[in-house]
Amino acid sequence: MDSAGYTIVLMPADGPKSAYELAMERLRLKDREAGVEERPLTEAQKAAIAEARQVYQARMAEREILHRDALHKAQTREEVEKLDSELAIDRDRLASDRDRKIAEIKQQSAK
The domain segmentation of the chain, as residue ranges, is 41-110
SS (H, E, C) the chain: CCCCCCCCCCCCCCCCCCHHHHHHHHHHHHHHHHCCCCCCCCHHHHHHHHHHHHHHHHHHHHHHHHHHHHHHHCCCHHHHHHHHHHHHHHHHHHHHHHHHHHHHHHHHHHC
Q: Return per-residue pLDDT of the chain as tens, 111 residues.
A: 545 566 655 555 567 788 988 888 888 888 788 877 777 889 999 999 999 999 999 999 999 999 999 999 999 999 999 999 999 999 999 999 999 999 999 888 655
Global pTM? Answer: 0.63
